[in-house]
Chain A
């Protein structure tokens, strides 16, 4: 693997690469994120943004209590979010634990949802605390069951103790396993990385190691996808693009519950990485409750009156 010519795979070269990164101005990032959150989005743009956000949703269920029936219901909703309105686009993917990948893929294909991907959370999600053979087997299971996207967690313990090469090698190994069968999303769990500097460092580490997407959080830890963290990651993919001419995707997950939050994320994307990232292949939103709110806002814009949760499905 060439790692874009940025590192040669050795600990020393990785350290040189990461140490050369500029630091993040924390106050500045907070201020810019909150300033962008005040942008007013007018009606026509809002309508476009709602449909774009729907097509970017990774519809997620990651519960111990998930059943095949629940996953199938989720898949049905993913393909046709509003059964009464065929103009609503399908979501980007469904995101499930790896034992549910087979159920999801089969059901999606059955109901004409071949265009909807199945993302599997992997490498001992959500903690990432397992040996490498276990993580590899975990990922292989998901790939064999038909996952088209792998959402792997990094070993935060290793990262925080400065053992970057371990994190790097894990990503490289999972990347090789995915090959061209699946996209690789790397989850940082930014709530556990503490500083924005660490988020920027983890972003560059994951991108050099071959990630297709960088993802904020597992959804199991708060705070999750806060606006400044997403801003820092978007700046990282923008800077990485100028270094390598390769566009890496970003996926905020956790805590994005309503249309207003989702549109704020789109504003961040447009103003930071640029309009090229406003596509489901480069920006996804990991969410479950968000989709119903987007649908209700869409109904409001079409009908001229406020919608009721009684008219969207119960998750």
Chain B
């Protein structure tokens, strides 16, 4: 590594299966724990969000129609790809956050395991959260969980990779598509994760990843009429009120989570009831 010129990576956005720069042309600087410059990731604008919503909306019916088995397999595939690039992720987490290598390795391991865990939920959702309801008449009556549509999520500042997984995986496992705003201070692993997604058979538009400022993008997510649900787990508590009231205008489902459990999946599902005559 002595006299070789550094090949620096350009961190871009991930929208509709492609890696565009921000339409605004803006970037911001991130530095490591010691204050040394690392990279210039994109500073996404509201128009990047708009483009991502268009992509997510277009991808949603197809992703929703994929079988539970297929969705689970694709999530598992993401875990496989992430496992194969673990050294890169460890290195990026260490360089940006300054935590020890051991801790970073633990985060990456947990991230892989977390994806596998969410993948497993895919074909169990309808039997565990749906129901065959007893009714007084010659009918079957089923309650089945259905996807909500396009969900936006704000990933926490840290852990940057594990938090990102928790923002993405539970949303898409139920058939939703997602636009996630990554950690502002530590966006490197998010953009490397986009490369993992791009090589994991995830259809274009199902996962879209933006990097930028949360207080700039969150209000646009809340007021956007074509976003059905919003996960604000990663947004500072003082901004929650404004975002919730902006989202109330368009009946958006807004949730904040502090643990990884099946409620994260169920929050973005709608339970729908169908009647079916017996004997037909």
Contacts and interface: CB of A to CB of B under 8 A. Distances in A.
Interface of A: 304-311
A257 to B, nearest CB: 11
A82 to B, nearest CB: 14
Contacts of B220: 305-306
Nearest to A305: B223
A149 B27 CA distance: 50
A309 B46 CA distance: 18
Interface of B: 46, 50, 53, 57, 220, 223-226, 246, 249-250
B223 A310 contact: no
Contacts of A309: 57, 226
B225 A311 contact: yes
B45 to A, nearest CB: 13
Contacts of A307: 225-226
A306 B57 contact: no
B117 to A, nearest CB: 33
B contact patch SS: helix
B48 to A, nearest CB: 12
A303 to B, nearest CB: 8
A304 B53 CA distance: 17
Contacts of B223: 304-306
Which of A305, A306, A307, A309 has the most chain B CB atoms closer than 10 A to its own CB? A306
B199 to A, nearest CB: 30
B57 A305 contact: no
> Which 5 pairs show the lowest CB-CB distances between chains A and B?
A305-B223, A308-B226, A308-B225, A306-B224, A307-B225
Which of B225, B246, B250 has the most chain A CB atoms closer than 10 A to its own CB? B225
A304 B250 CA distance: 13
26 contacts: A304-B223, A305-B220, A305-B223, A305-B224, A305-B225, A305-B246, A305-B249, A305-B250, A306-B46, A306-B50, A306-B53, A306-B220, A306-B223, A306-B224, A306-B225, A306-B226, A307-B225, A307-B226, A308-B224, A308-B225, A308-B226, A309-B57, A309-B226, A310-B225, A310-B226, A311-B225
A311 B226 CA distance: 10
A273 B270 CA distance: 54
Which of A307, A308, A309 has the most chain B CB atoms closer than 10 A to its own CB? A308
B88 to A, nearest CB: 35
A307 B226 CA distance: 6
A158 to B, nearest CB: 41
Contacts of B50: 306
A306 B246 CA distance: 12
A306 B223 CA distance: 7
Contacts of A304: 223
Contacts of B57: 309
Contacts of B246: 305
A310 B225 CA distance: 9
Nearest to B57: A309
Contacts of A310: 225-226
Nearest to B222: A305
Nearest to A307: B225
A307 to B, nearest CB: 5
Contacts of B250: 305
Nearest to A306: B224
Nearest to A299: B225
Contacts of B224: 305-306, 308
A298 to B, nearest CB: 13
Nearest to B221: A306
B143 to A, nearest CB: 24
A309 B57 CA distance: 10
B105 to A, nearest CB: 41
A24 B223 CA distance: 48
B151 to A, nearest CB: 14
Nearest to B58: A309
Contacts of B226: 306-310
Given A305-B223, A305-B224, A308-B225, 19 more contacts: A304-B223, A305-B220, A305-B225, A305-B246, A306-B50, A306-B53, A306-B220, A306-B223, A306-B224, A306-B225, A306-B226, A307-B225, A308-B224, A308-B226, A309-B57, A309-B226, A310-B225, A310-B226, A311-B225
A297 to B, nearest CB: 10
Contacts of A311: 225
A307 B224 CA distance: 6
A45 B57 CA distance: 29
Which of B46, B50, B220, B226 has the most chain A CB atoms closer than 10 A to its own CB? B226
A256 B249 CA distance: 32
A104 to B, nearest CB: 30
B245 to A, nearest CB: 13
A260 to B, nearest CB: 10
A50 to B, nearest CB: 15
A309 B60 CA distance: 14
A306 B57 CA distance: 14
A269 B224 CA distance: 33
A255 B53 CA distance: 21
A304 B223 CA distance: 9
B161 to A, nearest CB: 29
Contacts of B46: 306
Nearest to B53: A306
A261 to B, nearest CB: 14
A309 B50 CA distance: 12
Nearest to A311: B225
